[in-house]
Amino acid sequence: MQSFEYANPATVQEAVGLLSAKWGEADVLAGGTDLISLMKDHLHTPKRVVNIKNIKELEGIQKTAAGIRIGALVTMDELAKNADVKASAKSLSDAAAAIPSPQIRHMGTVGGDLCQRPRCWYYRQGFGLLAMKDGKSLVPDGANQYHAIFGSGPAYFVSASSLGPALIALGAKIKLVSAKGPREVAAASFFVSPANETSREIALHPDEILTEILIPPATVKSATYEVRQKEALDWPLATASVTLTMRGNTVASAKVVLGHVAAKPWDSAEAAKAITGKAITADTAEAAGKAAVASASPLSQNAYKVTLARVAVKRALLEAAKQKA
Amino acid sequence: MANTPDYSWPPMADRKIIGKSFKRLDGQAKASGRAKYTSDLKMKDMLYAAYVLCPHGHARVTSIDTSAAEKVKGVQAVHVIAPAGTEVQWHGKEIAAVAATTEEIAREAIRMVKVDYEVMPHFVNEQDLGKAGSRGKAAGEKVTGDPEKAFQEAEAVSDGVYGIPVITHSCLEPHGCVIQWQGDQVMAWPSTQFVTGWANTLAPNLKVPAANIKVKMDYIGGGFGSKFSPGAWAEVGAILSQKAGGRPVKIYLDRVAEQTIAGNRPSAFGKIKIAGKKDGTITAWQSDTWASGGFAGGGQPPLPYVYNNIPNTRLNHTSISVNAGPSQAWRAPNNQQASFLTCSAIEDFAAKAGCDPMDVFNKNAGYTPRAEQYQYQLAKAAELSEWKKLWKPRDQRTGTMRRGLGIGVNAWAGNGHGCTARLTINSDGSVVLEMGTQDLGTGTRTIMTQVAAETLGLQMGQVKLVIGDNSLPPGGSSGGSTTVGGVSAATRKAGVNALGKLYEAAAPALGVQPEELEAVDGQIRVKSNHAKNMTWVAACKKIGPAGKISETGVNETRNPMGLFSGGAAGVQVADVSVDIETGLVKINRFVAVQDCGLVINPKLAESQVIGAIIMGISTALYEERIMDNATGRMMNPDLEFYKLAGIKDIGDIVVHMDIREVNDKRGVIGLGEPPAIGICAAVGNAVANAIGKRVPYMPMTPMHVLNALEGRNA
């Protein structure tokens, strides 16, 4: 790990003043479940580490008329156990609870989940975010069993965020603060598929801190279904998060977002369209699953993930249908 | 010449300590963290070493410059392992090493070592034999009987492809040691399976007399076959220590090094055909197999496994060299692969013949070396797994979650190794048992103490045990499941020998001849008249002016004297559920029936089997070294994508130790390896039974299962 300056601000104001306009100068430390290993592997070599754990205003979950506000420092465990979140954003609660490692659930934060770097083994072994060699990505002909099945490059890693798909499906907003002031972005615009090696996979600027998430009030059914191999520490192979607004037994509108299948959470308008106007049955859910993967373009080793994505959508819809609206 | 004393084990009914389930003596120390493994050691002035590893699958070092690293504050020694011109054949190969005052400084310093490489072509994946070209070396064809004719006359023939990948050693405690080299004296604290012989392997490399190398180890965090030799790291650590003026150096592999160079279980792939009759009788076997254990190739599994007397066989094997780290013995080398290939093919033959595989394994037991034993165990495993109730033929399962049952078998020699125990009885009654052996976590401490206590008629707490030091009487290497047979026989002999001397000292006071005495329940008493006795302590007071009796017991591998033998057998049944939409495999229950002769401690024996099953399920469901054709690197040299099972992934484990008089009479037989052998076989067969199709390649991941279900396998 390269030596760094350690800052311990008590307010957001103070914290953003310690950041830099350029990536690589400063890193924000919350739970540390990703940053520490990135630093040990010299993938991040910040000159300054800004610890935000002492900033009280970043804590807590509140339910107001404007919706549910979730502070960036809320741990995955707190999120999974919160009654308000369980009641009105079940898909988000499920996504947090599904993280199998107790260490990550208790140390990892909501902000950290959204800002963590990809787990792609080419990236983690120092081949860069896009794993380019001689102008060509190593991934399509390489070891790609855990890589993207959507998006056709140049980024083939999968977004590692557990909460991203649920937040997008719920129409959440994410608050980002810099020294110039706050701004809000839709969760759907927060994740980006980077076009080149020097861009990031999130819309956060290097001089900003993610401070909170706002889930708008709505009467919806929602669910997240995760296909993960192990019960112990492991990453999902594919997930699907759905949010449904019902009219009687019929889906009035739907959002279907897949996780771990592309460089960003994959918002499937096709799946949403397939289920809209229909009652949820095994057949309509299956059809929506098929629609979700119709445009998938798997790599040499990961055709199986197309099946997993299809099944995750089907099962998330059937799970959501079981809920009381 | 004196008569050979009677060393034989007491009859089953008379045993007071042997055969009882005492708790592991070091259990509390380990569970509480008080037990210090070598990797826990911290010493005054100790330096920490770190490695520069080759980042390429195949390359030549063109230049290496360590000057910047040498200037880093805190760096005390730098050693170049692969100077310019060296050709390196795998990712992870050691290039240079640094020792510094902290681990952090050492890690920073290795980044300052500038190495230039000429990258060369690599070949890293052996799954497709057709691509191996000149990297493959064929062993000659072996034919027995008339396979041609047997296949022509067969009523049923199975024809399958099977593959089991390279998996890495992932011991909780990585490989390494603390080592200090001052002048011509070396002191070492290794993590090893062979305390007694460790120095002798290292000595010629350092050009130091083995007599000058002191070795000490209290606890080891797993070995499984990968920690016999000192490893290249011991030598490098010693050189760094010497260069740093004789300060102790702690050299431990990090997970990347551990996964790339500390050793692996070779792969095995095969196209296998079995011929037989509609009633399930097997008549012929044909296998074309290939395997790789790294750059040196290797790894020919003994086929057909256990059922090795099939009359008509044709075998071909190709050893493939890949640019990847070397193999190391992995809990029953070659046997896991052999069991997987054989049992998978037998299961597929049973399906082809329209038979219940339990019947096929049973019907053909005549081909095994111990037909009655396997038949007994098959029946027991069928009972414990509720085979008759739960097993259904392939394709008779419906629904999304499909249950399946499958069989795996094992066989292992496990004869006791040569070793020497020294037992000392002091005139105050205290007893110490010594041997330069090691407890790998298998319970060696506990069972040695049990044997000594039983022999002397004492309680467990009355025997002090000292192991883990190469100045003690020689122990053997803990490999091949040879430890329990060796140490128990040597301890028994040392105990009987020492007791003989104690009888001589005590006999006059009781007015009898020494051979009329026995040691039972803390007394020395006359066999024919128990009322004539004295306490253990009173008897020990009679020990002469030396104040102690110290006798050795030597186990000789060629003269078991009924104390140990070889030939363990086991049958296992996996009961799984497969989600056919996701390919996820869950273990419902795993049943193991295992014999290992005379069982000194049933609880520890069961624990060994449970450990083997946990390890085996991890390999059957998750573990796989993933090599990248694009870069020639191992892509998962970590414990994140090199997946290990957690406790919730294991399911229920049912162990039946086959403790019967007929087995007990065979003496003590090693147990470490046999129960680890047939697990991939059983799980793979259970999955095939559940989904109605063979999943050719281990591990049983969603990728492999869905590829099979969706027809993506060639």
- Across the interface, do B706 and A146 touch by the CB < 8 Å criterion? no
Q: Tell me which chain A residues have a C-beta less than 8 angstroms from the C-beta of B706.
A: 304, 307-308
A151-184 per-position pLDDT tens digit:
988 999 999 999 999 999 999 999 999 999 999 9
B58-80 per-position pLDDT tens digit:
999 999 999 999 999 999 999 99
Q: How far apart are the first and last CA of chain B?
A: 71
Smallest CA–CA distance from A286 into chain B, residue? B581
- What does the domain layout of chain B look like in residue ranges? 12-35+417-555, 38-121+175-252, 264-414+565-709
The answer to whether domain B12-35+417-555 and domain B264-414+565-709 are alike in fold is yes
CB B457 within 8 A of CB B521: yes
Closest partner CB to B630 (pick from A141, A230, A237): A141
Q: How many interchain CB pairs under 8 A, A with B?
A: 86
- Across the interface, do B622 and A138 touch by the CB < 8 Å criterion? no
- Across the interface, do B583 and A138 touch by the CB < 8 Å criterion? no
Run of H or E residues at B88: strand B87-88
Q: Tell me which chain A residues have a C-beta less than 8 angstroms from the C-beta of B630.
A: 133, 138, 141-143
CB B116 within 8 A of CB B279: no
Smallest CA–CA distance from A309 into chain B, residue? B582
In this prediction, residues B633-659 reach a mean pLDDT of 96
- Give the C-alpha separation, B543 to B5, whole Å: 20
Q: Tell me which chain A residues have a C-beta less than 8 angstroms from the C-beta of B647.
A: 232
Task: Name the percent of chain B in helix, strand, coil, to the closest 5.
Answer: 30, 30, 40
Closest partner CB to A143 (pick from B581, B584, B628): B628
- Across the interface, do B648 and A231 touch by the CB < 8 Å criterion? yes
- Give the C-alpha separation, B31 to B50, whole Å: 29
User: What is the token pair recorded at B565?
Assistant: 């033998």
Closest CA–CA distance from residue B620 to any residue of chain A (Å): 13
Q: Tell me which chain B residues have a C-beta less than 8 angstroms from the C-beta of A121.
A: 635-636, 641
CB A24 within 8 A of CB A1: no
Residue to mutate among A34, A138, A146, A304, with most B CBs inside 10 A, is A304
Strands of the A181-186 sheet, one edge to the other: A61-64, A67-71, A209-215, A173-178, A181-186
B424-455 per-position pLDDT tens digit:
999 999 999 999 999 999 999 999 999 999 99
In this prediction, residues B627-655 reach a mean pLDDT of 96
Interface of B with A in 88-107 (CB under 8 A): 104, 107
- Across the interface, do B646 and A230 touch by the CB < 8 Å criterion? yes
Residue B622 touches partner A, C-beta closer than 8 Å: yes
- Give the C-alpha separation, A224 to A234, whole Å: 17
B179 - beta bridge partners? Answer: B188, B249
In this prediction, residues B4-8 reach a mean pLDDT of 93
Residue to mutate among B54, B122, B581, B705, with most A CBs inside 10 A, is B581
Closest partner CB to A232 (pick from B631, B646, B710): B646
Closest CA–CA distance from residue A143 to any residue of chain B (Å): 5
**pLDDT greater than 60 at residue B714:** no
Annotate B375-405 with b (16+ C-beta within 10 A) or e (fewer): bbbbebbbebbebeeebeebeebeeeebbbb
Q: Tell me which chain B residues have a C-beta less than 8 angstroms from the C-beta of A122.
A: 631, 635
Residue to mutate among B582, B625, B629, B691, with most A CBs inside 10 A, is B582
* pLDDT given for residue B395 in this prediction: 86
Residue to mutate among B641, B650, B695, with most A CBs inside 10 A, is B641
In this prediction, residues B13-18 reach a mean pLDDT of 96
- Across the interface, do B641 and A127 touch by the CB < 8 Å criterion? no
Closest partner CB to B631 (pick from A138, A232, A237): A138
Closest partner CB to B649 (pick from A227, A230, A237): A230
- CATH entry, B38-121+175-252, from 2.40.33.10, 3.30.43.10, 1.25.40.10, 3.90.1170.50: 3.90.1170.50
- Across the interface, do A231 and B646 touch by the CB < 8 Å criterion? yes
Q: Tell me which chain B residues have a C-beta less than 8 angstroms from the C-beta of A138.
A: 628, 630-631
Helix (H, G, I), strand (E, B) or coil at B67: helix
3-state secondary structure B152-176: HHCCEEEEEEEEECCEECCCCCCCE
* pLDDT given for residue A325 in this prediction: 58
B477-496 per-position pLDDT tens digit:
999 999 999 999 999 999 99
B131: pLDDT confidence band, cut at 50, 70 and 90?
A: very high
Closest CA–CA distance from residue A14 to any residue of chain B (Å): 30
Topology adopted by domain B12-35+417-555: Aldehyde Oxidoreductase; domain 4 (3.30.365)
B2: pLDDT confidence band, cut at 50, 70 and 90?
A: low
B579-596 per-position pLDDT tens digit:
999 999 999 999 999 999
- Across the interface, do B627 and A231 touch by the CB < 8 Å criterion? no
- Across the interface, do B641 and A302 touch by the CB < 8 Å criterion? no
B4: pLDDT confidence band, cut at 50, 70 and 90?
A: confident
Cβ-proximal residues to B223 (8 Å cutoff; 6+ apart), any chain: B171, B191, B192, B193, B440, B478
- Give the C-alpha separation, A213 to B610, whole Å: 46
- Across the interface, do A141 and B706 touch by the CB < 8 Å criterion? no
Closest CA–CA distance from residue A119 to any residue of chain B (Å): 9
Cβ-proximal residues to B94 (8 Å cutoff; 6+ apart), any chain: B51, B52, B53, B54, B81, B82, B232, B236, B257, B261
- Across the interface, do A229 and B628 touch by the CB < 8 Å criterion? no
**Backbone phi, then psi, for B608, in 5-degree steps?**
-60, -45
**pLDDT greater than 90 at residue B460:** yes
B327-356 per-position pLDDT tens digit:
999 999 999 999 999 999 999 999 999 999
Q: Tell me which chain B residues have a C-beta less than 8 angstroms from the C-beta of A317.
A: none
* pLDDT given for residue B301 in this prediction: 95
Smallest CA–CA distance from A311 into chain B, residue? B581
Residue percentage of chain A with pLDDT more than 70: 100
User: What is the token pair recorded at A113?
Assistant: 């989940």
Closest partner CB to A1 (pick from B104, B641, B701): B104
Q: Tell me which chain B residues have a C-beta less than 8 angstroms from the C-beta of A42.
A: 111
Smallest CA–CA distance from A302 into chain B, residue? B703
Residue percentage of chain B with pLDDT more than 90: 98
Closest CA–CA distance from residue B672 to any residue of chain A (Å): 26
- Across the interface, do B641 and A146 touch by the CB < 8 Å criterion? yes
Run of H or E residues at B493: helix B483-510
Q: Quick one: which of B649, B676, B639, B671 has its CA closest to B658?
A: B671
A202-223 per-position pLDDT tens digit:
999 999 999 999 999 999 999 9
CB B478 within 8 A of CB B437: yes
Whole-number average pLDDT of chain A = 97
CB B121 within 8 A of CB B629: no
Interface of B with A in 106-165 (CB under 8 A): 107-108, 111
**pLDDT greater than 80 at residue B413:** yes
B380: pLDDT confidence band, cut at 50, 70 and 90?
A: very high
- Across the interface, do A232 and B107 touch by the CB < 8 Å criterion? no
Residues in chain A whose Cβ is within 8 Å of chain B: 1-2, 42, 100, 119, 121-122, 125, 127, 133, 138, 141-143, 145-146, 227, 229-235, 237, 301-304, 307-308, 311
* pLDDT given for residue B189 in this prediction: 98
B299: pLDDT confidence band, cut at 50, 70 and 90?
A: confident
Smallest CA–CA distance from B106 into chain A, residue? A1
User: What is the token pair recorded at B617?
Assistant: 């399920």
Q: Tell me which chain B residues have a C-beta less than 8 angstroms from the C-beta of A229.
A: 584, 621-622, 643, 701-702
Q: Tell me which chain B residues have a C-beta less than 8 angstroms from the C-beta of A125.
A: 633, 635
* pLDDT given for residue A1 in this prediction: 87
* pLDDT given for residue B61 in this prediction: 98
In this prediction, residues B270-292 reach a mean pLDDT of 98
Q: Give whole-number Cα distances, B495 to A26, A182, B42, in Å.
A: 68, 80, 37
Topology adopted by domain B264-414+565-709: Aldehyde Oxidoreductase; domain 4 (3.30.365)
Establish whether this prediction's ipTM goes over 0.90: yes
- Across the interface, do A311 and B581 touch by the CB < 8 Å criterion? yes
